[in-house]
Amino acid sequence: MKRRSVFVRALSAFSMVSVVLAQMPIVANAEEEKEEKTWKKTDYIENGDFEKGDLSGWSVSMPDDDGENVGSKIKVDEWASNNKTNIFNYWNNNADGAELSLSQTIKSLPAGSYKLSFEADGATSQSGMTVSIAGEKIDVETTGWDSWSTFTTEEFTVTDKEDITVSFSGKVESGYWGDVDNFVLYALEDSSAEEPGQEETEETEPVDSEINVEKVAGCDDNFITGVDVSSYLSEKNSGVKYYDFDGNELSNQGFFDFLHDCGVNYVRIRVWNDPTDGNGNGYGGGNCDIDTAVKIGKWVTNAGMKVLIDFHYSDFWADPGKQTAPKAWKSMSIDEKTEAVEAYTKDSLDKLIDAGVNVGMVQIGNETNNGVAGEKTWENMSKIFSAGSKAVREVSENLDHDILVAVHFTNPETSGRYAGYAKKLDDYGVDYDVFASSYYPYWHGTLSNLKSVLSNIADTYDKKVMVAETSYVHTLKDGDGHTNTEYEGKSGDALNFDISVQGQADSVRSVIDTVVSIDDGIGVFYWEPAWIPVKAYDADAEDAADVLAGNKKAWEKYGSGWASSYAGAYDKDAKDWYGGSAVDNEAWFDFEGHALASAKIYSYVRSGAKAPLSVIRIDVEAVTVELGDDVVLPENASVVYNDGSKVDAKVNWDEAKLAEAKEAGAGEYEIPGTVVVNDETKDVTCKLTINPKNLLVNGSFEDGNKAWTISDIKNADGNNGVSIQADSSNVRTGQMSLKFWDNEEIYYTVEQKVTVDKGVYKLGAFVEGGDCGDEAEFKLYAVVGDNNFSTDTGVTGWQNWANPEVTDIIVNTDSTEITVGVSVKAVAGGWGAWDDFYLYKTAEASSEEIGGGDDPTPTPGDDPVIDDPGSGNQDDPAIDDPAEDDNKDSDHKQEIEKAVQQIVKAVDTFVKQVVVPVIKEITKVVKKIFGWFRW
């Protein structure tokens, strides 16, 4: 079905629904006075997250359950991205509806005010199911596979202790499937509802601030609210200055005093064994050796805070992608290396403690999913962990001072990962106190999942748990000229909070609230809140080149970027892609070093903070249409306030500018308009994209197989493979997509033939998927006569839509039939989908244009003047005629000029078809590297 007009939300990547109530924005009229209420999670619902792996606490009834066509079960969806924990799954493939009831009765619920929250996903339709409690009901409507939504009932009141039933019931519609998870009952804190053993706490009024922060119940002074500022000294050496809220420049000691005053009580410092090339040149990333840790540790201690030492047991960054042994340990046996770890750990801690540093915790390795100190087997890894732990215990005993031992892993979103790691640690008898996790909301799943996996470790192995690294952006702008981890236009990363200082604070608060709610959850560390530009860089400024050159010089000399060029011999990733900070847009200071309101988040989670109502931004939907379609701009803009509320405001568009855009035709335009907010006129813009007419038939597959030829080359058994299907979970637009999956090797092509006139064309498509193997080949191509135009692409995850394009497809003759298509080779188990193919004419082709249709591409070797240098110089009867001789010289000159022109065009084609695509691929690699690494 041809789509006349497509509205694309400009901030669609930011619209994923939060997974805990504390994260949910309140949508209301911003002009209404809002009642402040604080809700606390309770444990009244047993096994509400189904993490016991069964239906403990629940009763289920489904009379038509046959285990095949109709049924329900507890399962883990290993293909999902947004929930890889246990869920309650149900389905009905019969022609008629199927009755289902899942319920739990809470005995003697105390008097008070409550809300019920739960999550659901499922087919894109009404489920037929309803959740009810104490007279409050919610009809469950879902929007696709792995598209989890959070539902919350209205507030209800229990006047006296009574039994209350939570019910998920109804008639499952024919053809429907769905999942539910994370049933949580929330109690209003100022109501009379109390959990067993709850103690009364002194109520405090929220402090005035620039941001709103809800107080986190249970976040007392003993809860660790830490930061990792390992890059601080290299930043200062590079000339960076930091300022407090009043604009006063902070001294070294003043900086750490400032952090303490903002609620920080712990500072994490990474330590590398020898981060130099042997000639005195530092590897960068802060040049974090033990001497640097001592200097920073003394300032931390003097400010009244404790220190966590993060031993990487490497000379540079250690993470899941690399765990390189220090140069000095490279050739050691495991027994020698174990002795070296113990000695190095003890000597380093002695040096810190002798300098007066208050070491409260030691981390044995950093993000050690796949190894530590160059060891990759669990047997040897455990020997390294144990050696480090033994050294800490010895130092602690000699000091008569408790020092916690932590191990550190990442990727909590993967089902069973942390449980597996904890079991291995237990099996090998590793002595530790704290199981620490990284949690970056962009990549690491939901907070309910984080709570579940950490709670399981705390309960099963009696360990303390914490988040050792987290952060969030306050802007998507770059501050130093080096690509950031999160940037404008990046797809696939979950940005569940607003891109603002308020959103940054909301993200941190939600992580704290999650860890506080875990028994034996002891703290949260924010990663590198002070790693800002050496000097703020503006690509459009006149001095941009000088600023960037100065930044690069500082990164090399002082190590204030993520890596210097000197690290290349040791770290494969730094060999070509060294540079500056990748997280300057996630700091608690702006690009000039002035403290943001989020710097006080640790203070605010203990007191609460309230800001005057103000507008954060005004959102306008972008509009994309095809040339010739009607252009209709959004009637309203969405005014977003700092308390999370949103209000629609009517937009008055500049009709003259809109008319100009329509007249101009295909292109991208910014149409200005105005809205009135609180009696003040505000400017807004709408991004309007007018695409050329799509020359492909059925480019979005809404008409099934029409116009497409599918060749499933490796599909031997005729099952699975590639086909055009209706699958709401794997479409980009509409209802249909070209979907593929097979349990055997995958190799297919899908093509369409189309007749076009002379011109220059662009072919594009969108693709998503995963598990296709390291050697997978994805190619988008166009064949014009004897000429092939193509680009390589790939898949990076579910709904992470890549947009490969083949540009400068040249056709020289009218009514030329060209073939466009895709070719995919992948391993068994690979999966994904293609959608929204397009072929646009982007320019006219000149009569002498080369490269397509029935006119073969000329090459320098096809020209007779080049092939036969003597042509035109043979003896001629009329050679003595000066006029004829002049004419011959002129003709010869014209032939040479023509040949030169053809050579130039051939070179131009080579650049367009070979050099430009190579540069584009290199650019993609750069973005991929700096979008993937986290240091």
DSSP label at residue 905: H
The answer to whether 702 touches 1, Cβ cutoff 8 Å, is yes
- The distance from CA 650 to its chain's CA centroid, rounded to whole angstroms, is 33
Calculate helix-pair angle for 252-261, 290-302, nearest 10 degrees. Answer: 60
Cα(132)–Cα(103) distance, integer angstroms: 10
- Which position among 367, 375, 413, 556 bears the catalytic label? 367
684 DSSP β-pair partners: 673
Show Cβ contacts of residue 541 under 8 Å, excluding neighbours closer than 6 positions. 547
CA dist 120 → 101, 150, 413, 745 (Å): 15, 7, 18, 34
Q: Strand, helix or coil at 506? A: helix
Kindly report the number of other CB atoms within 10 A of residue 195's CB atom: 12
Fill in the DSSP letter of residue 322: B
Q: How far is CA 251 from CA 66, 438, 588, in A?
A: 71, 30, 17
For Cα atoms 219, 223, 227, give the angle at the middle one, nearest 5 degrees: 110
212, 610 in Cβ contact below 8 A? yes
Burial of 332 (0-12, 13-18, 19+ CB in 10 A): middle
With beta carbons less than 8 A apart as the criterion, state whether 186 and 114 touch.
yes
Task: Please report where in the chains the tokens 């802060």 appear, as a residue.
Answer: 286
* Residue 542 appears among annotated catalytic residues: no
Question: Which residues make Cβ contacts (< 8 Å) with residue 172, sequence separation at least 6?
Answer: 70, 90, 91, 92, 97, 98, 99, 100, 127, 128, 129, 178
- Residues composing the chain: 935
Element containing residue 751 per DSSP (H, E): strand 746-756
| Rounded CA separation 49/119 (Å) | 10
The two three-digit tokens of residue 496, written as one number: 């569940």
299 CB-near residues (< 8 Å, 6+ apart): 252, 253, 255, 256
Dihedral angle sign, alpha carbons of residues 755, 761, 766, 771: positive
Structure tokens at 856: 């073969």
> For the residues of 93-152, what is the DSSP string, one character each?
-SSS-EEEEEEEEEEEEPSEEEEEEEEEEEEEEEEEEEEEETTEEEEEEEEEEEEEEEEE
Which of 919, 781, 764 lies closest to 841, judged by CA?
Answer: 764
The active-site residue, picked from 469, 586, 621, 702, is 469
d(Cα 519, Cα 508) in Å, to the nearest integer? 19
Contact 300, 267 (CB under 8 A): yes
Distance of CA 823 to the CA centre of its chain: 28
CA-nearest of 630, 747, 750 to 699 is 750
Q: What share of the chain is helix, strand, coil (3-state, %, to 5)?
A: 25, 35, 45
Helix (H, G, I), strand (E, B) or coil at 7: strand
List of long-range contacts for 774-778, beta carbons under 8 Å, 24+ apart: 775/827, 776/824, 776/825, 776/826, 776/827, 776/830, 777/823, 777/824, 777/825, 777/826, 778/804, 778/822, 778/823, 778/824
660 is catalytic: no
Q: Are 511 and 454 in contact (CB under 8 A)?
A: no
The residues annotated with a catalytic role in the active site are: 367, 469
